[in-house]
Amino acid sequence: MSIRRLPSELINRIAAGEVVERPASALKELIENGLDAGAGAVSIRLSAGGLDRIEVADDGSGMTPADMRLALERHATSKLPDDAIEAVTSFGFRGEALPSIASVSRLTLESRVRGAEGWRTKIDHGVAEEEGPAALPPGTRVRVEALFDKVPARRKFLRSARAEYAACLDVVKRLAMARPDVAFALEHDGRTILSLHPAEPPKRVAELLSHELDRHGLGIDCVRNGIRLTGVVSLPTFNRGMADQQYLFVNSRPVKDRLLVGSLRAAYRDLLARDRHPVAALFVEVPTDEVDINVHPAKTEVRFRDPAAVRGLIVGGLRTALDEAGHRSVARDQFAQPAAWQVEPVEPAEPRLWSGPASDSAGARAVVADLSMDFLPQGRASIADPVAPSEPAYPLGIARGQVAATYIVAEAADGLVIVDQHAAHERLVLERMRAATRGHEVARQALLVPDVVEMEETDCDRIEDAAADLLRLGLEIDRFGPTSILVRAVPAALGKTDVSGLLNDLAAELSELGTALSLGEKLDHVAATIACHGSVRAGRVLSVAEMNALLREIEVTPHSGQCNHGRPTWVKLGHGEIEKLFGRR
């Protein structure tokens, strides 16, 4: 077969394969061009999720007819005047977006430089069709129709109009957050979706993120080694099943960079379950020579010269903010609103659980017995009889009983507290193990007869490799043949535990973490897995003394407002709320 030079049309179509994957990617390129042209306002109109039509109009510099012809040629750009890709601050620089889009659609480009006449040129799948004068305000208007109509392979992979629309909306949101100083308008199938005026960054972000972040968000602003991190992240208890509300920016460029996503994840490690995700908008600012944006044709990935510094800033900065937010939890904030409580009249079936001889389960009896020998301060009516200043004030109050052998009910000076005992205890065990790993080794409990756990060879290898770390956490193991591990001791905090289940979970954990995390971070992860195995299960009856001990420990333990999976560990119903429930206020 002989080698031939490809015709430019075909070259463009091949490039389009990389740059224009779906309507949303074409839309992204067009908006970026408008922003690069210095637009103060960008307005977007879509039909059928961009499958039928994408239209982007800006009030930027506009182009002369000669520039319009050049703009449609491959590798023609106005954005690299001195060949310095390292120093580029515009969104574009490759000079291939317009010709690529034009090669796989019917494209109409209209533009007008201030003080001159407007011009229009039409391209049908890479072939110039017609050009001539056009009436439009200064700026540029691009219309893309019949995208991929002649590229059946690509058309086949497109999703429904609804899914393509969602991707387009995501693109608009990201760019609107990147440039809060620019007005954005978005219309889909004739319906106005967004209409954003220029605003300060926090306000723009707030307009585009879940409104609940007003109450459940944490502002971030920190600087380290010349790198700045700003933005907002959600409290761990305000989380989502998908990582779809994470907006990350490097020098005002929206990115979906693995390092940044991973750092965000790491900051929430052990505050969230693996399948839950925080909401975040984070802006990283680094000197332009510290980051390479020419990594990927769509420019959504970047390379940092010092990735560890960026990662350290994100993990450290977020962690500090989350630590300071300490005990705040969504549930508590929510319950400031009585609407979140059940106000319907109680069903007759429910009171029966509480009264009469039917409720003689062992659990209920045990609690009643404990209450009768109540040795605690008799500060029952805290309001009428305020705690003397010398006595400690307990924010979580004094335990009054246990419900369903799962929840502790306590009376605080300012209201009623309900604690999920399993969630709370799991958190406490983890924080205890963490504190211990910072100092010395965790206390071990030797097994009288070592346990042999059978596992896949690769899993055994992982566990064996981590043996030294596991020992610091109180788990003493030895390799015992290719597919088994001998467990000699477990962390004392665990008590009686399912050793095989624990080892299997740890192997899964280690395989997922891979080599991505530092040793300290890995230890923390592993500690969380161990803690989960060691906590007081729901359904265990606790004595009043045990309950109070738990309450006191929650009060002094960091991060105790949520369990290791991001659920709240306790909620408080204030006196005001109780009164509202009964219509007294």
| Interface ranges with Mg ion (CB under 5 A) | 33, 92, 97
Backbone angles phi, psi at 28, to 5 degrees: -60, -45
Q: 139 Cβ partners below 8 Å, 6+ apart?
A: 34, 37, 39, 57, 58, 59, 60, 61, 62, 111, 112
Q: What tokens appear for 121 in the block? A: 């040129």
Considering CB distances under 5 to 8 angstroms, the limit depending on partner class, which of ligand ATP, Mg ion, none binds residue 415?
Answer: none
User: Based on CB atoms, which residue is closest to ligand ATP, 138 or 262?
Assistant: 138
Shortest Å, Cβ 100 to Mg ion:
10
Q: Does 140 bind ligand ATP (CB under 6 A)?
A: yes
Shortest Å, Cβ 55 to ligand ATP:
12
Considering CB distances under 5 to 8 angstroms, the limit depending on partner class, which of ligand ATP, Mg ion, none binds residue 61?
Answer: ligand ATP
Shortest Å, Cβ 88 to Mg ion:
12
Shortest Å, Cβ 95 to ligand ATP:
4
**Cα-based torsion angle of the residue sequence 174, 178, 183, 188 in order, rounded to the nearest 10 degrees:** -10
Whole-number Å distance between alpha carbons of 264 and 240: 14
Considering CB distances under 5 to 8 angstroms, the limit depending on partner class, which of ligand ATP, Mg ion, none binds residue 77?
Answer: ligand ATP
Shortest Å, Cβ 294 to ligand ATP:
10
Shortest Å, Cβ 249 to Mg ion:
18
Q: What string marks each residue from 94 to 113 as x (binds ligand ATP by CB under 6 A) or -?
A: xxxxx---------------
User: Based on CB atoms, which residue is closest to ligand ATP, 70 or 158?
Assistant: 70
Considering CB distances under 5 to 8 angstroms, the limit depending on partner class, which of ligand ATP, Mg ion, none binds residue 95?
Answer: ligand ATP
Q: Residue 213: enclosing H or E segment and its boundaries?
A: helix 213-216
Q: Does 60 bind ligand ATP (CB under 6 A)?
A: yes
User: Based on CB atoms, which residue is closest to ligand ATP, 36 or 546?
Assistant: 36
Q: What tokens appear for 469 in the block? A: 């770390």
Considering CB distances under 5 to 8 angstroms, the limit depending on partner class, which of Mg ion, ligand ATP, none binds residue 254?
Answer: none
Shortest Å, Cβ 299 to ligand ATP:
7
Whole-number Å distance between alpha carbons of 358 and 206: 52
Q: Which of 427, 417, 363 is nearest to 394 (CA)?
A: 417
Amino acid 491 reads: P
Q: Which of 402, 382, 401 is nearest to 392 (CA)?
A: 382
Shortest Å, Cβ 77 to ligand ATP:
3
User: Based on CB atoms, which residue is closest to ligand ATP, 37 or 260?
Assistant: 37
Q: Distance between terminal CA atoms of the chain?
A: 88
User: Based on CB atoms, which residue is closest to ligand ATP, 93 or 570?
Assistant: 93
Q: Does 119 bind ligand ATP (CB under 6 A)?
A: no
Shortest Å, Cβ 185 to ligand ATP:
16
Strand order in the sheet with 183-188: 127-134, 118-124, 106-112, 139-145, 53-58, 41-47, 183-188, 191-196
Q: Which of 15, 44, 51, 71 binds ligand ATP (CB under 6 A)?
A: 71
Choices 74-82, 163-171, 378-386, 510-518 (CB under 6 A): range interacting with ligand ATP: 74-82
User: Based on CB atoms, which residue is closest to ligand ATP, 25 or 569?
Assistant: 25
Whole-number Å distance between alpha carbons of 166 and 14: 26
User: Based on CB atoms, which residue is closest to ligand ATP, 61 or 406?
Assistant: 61
User: Based on CB atoms, which residue is closest to ligand ATP, 78 or 210?
Assistant: 78
Considering CB distances under 5 to 8 angstroms, the limit depending on partner class, which of Mg ion, ligand ATP, none binds residue 497?
Answer: none
Residue nearest to ligand ATP according to CB distances in the complex: 92
Q: What is the 3-state secondary structure (H, E, C) of 339-377?
A: HHCCCCCCCCHHHHHHCCCCCCCHHHHHHHHHHHCCCCC
Indicate left, alpha or beta for 393 from its phi (over 0: left) and psi (-120 to 50: alpha): beta
Q: 324 Cβ partners below 8 Å, 6+ apart?
A: none
Considering CB distances under 5 to 8 angstroms, the limit depending on partner class, which of ligand ATP, Mg ion, none binds residue 186?
Answer: none
Q: Which of 43, 93, 474, 544 binds ligand ATP (CB under 6 A)?
A: 93
User: Based on CB atoms, which residue is closest to ligand ATP, 60 or 236?
Assistant: 60
Shortest Å, Cβ 553 to Mg ion:
57
Q: Is the dihedral of CA 303, 304, 308, 313 positive or negative?
A: negative
Enumerate long-range contacts of 257-263, CB under 8 Å, 24 or more apart: 257/300, 257/301, 257/302, 258/301, 259/304, 259/307, 259/310, 259/311, 260/284, 260/310, 260/314, 262/311, 262/516, 263/310, 263/311, 263/314, 263/315
Q: Which of residues 355-414 bind ligand ATP (CB under 6 A)?
A: none
User: Based on CB atoms, which residue is closest to ligand ATP, 134 or 578?
Assistant: 134
Whole-number Å distance between alpha carbons of 76 and 93: 9
User: Based on CB atoms, which residue is closest to ligand ATP, 121 or 560?
Assistant: 121
Shortest Å, Cβ 204 to Mg ion:
22
Whole-number Å distance between alpha carbons of 354 and 370: 17
Q: How many CB atoms lie within 10 A of CB 369?
A: 11
User: Based on CB atoms, which residue is closest to Mg ion, 90 or 500?
Assistant: 90
Q: Which of residues 20-59 bind ligand ATP (CB under 6 A)?
A: 29, 33-34, 36-37, 58
Strand positions, DSSP E, 531-578: 570-574
What are the distances in angstroms from CA 51 to CA 27, 124, 456?
Answer: 11, 16, 48
User: Based on CB atoms, which residue is closest to ligand ATP, 117 or 512?
Assistant: 117
Q: Does 522 bind ligand ATP (CB under 6 A)?
A: no
Q: How many CB atoms lie within 10 A of CB 153?
A: 8
Q: Which of 64, 78, 251, 484 binds ligand ATP (CB under 6 A)?
A: 78
How many residues of this chain interact with ligand ATP, rule: CB under 6 A? 22
Q: Are strands 246-250 and 253-255 parallel, antiparallel or unpaired?
A: antiparallel
Q: Which residues bind ligand ATP (CB under 6 A)?
A: 29, 33-34, 36-37, 58, 60-63, 71, 77-79, 92-98, 140
